[in-house]
Amino acid sequence: MYNEKVMDHFMNPRNQGEIPDADGVGEVGNPACGDIMKIYLKVKENVVTDVKFQTFGCGAAIASSSMATDLIKGRDLEEAWALSNRAVAEALDGLPPQKLHCSVLAEEGIHAAINDYRQRRGLSPWQDDRREA
pLDDT in tens, 89-108: 999 999 999 999 999 999 99
Model confidence at 129: pLDDT above 70: no
Structure confidence at residue 101 (pLDDT): 94
Domain that holds residue 14: 4-120
Q: Is residue 11 part of a domain?
A: yes
pLDDT-derived band at 132, boundaries 50, 70, 90 = very low
The residue from 37, 51, 102, 114 that is catalytic is 102
Model confidence at 53: pLDDT above 80: yes
Q: Is residue 102 part of a domain?
A: yes
Share of the chain above pLDDT 70, in %: 96
Q: Is residue 128 part of a domain?
A: no
The residue from 7, 8, 30, 33 that is catalytic is 33
The pTM of the full predicted model, rounded to 2 decimals, is 0.93
Q: Is residue 129 part of a domain?
A: no
Model confidence at 130: pLDDT above 50: no
Q: 58 catalytic, yes or no?
A: no
Q: Is residue 33 part of a domain?
A: yes
Q: Is residue 58 part of a domain?
A: yes
CATH code at position 100: 3.90.1010.10
Q: Is residue 127 part of a domain?
A: no
Q: Is residue 84 part of a domain?
A: yes
* Helix-strand-coil split of the chain, %, nearest 5: 45, 20, 35
Q: 33 catalytic, yes or no?
A: yes
Instruction: Give the angle 103-105-110 at the CA atoms, nearest 5°.
Output: 100
Collapsing DSSP to helix, strand or coil, 21 comes out as: coil
Backbone phi, psi, residue 7, to 5°: -60, -40
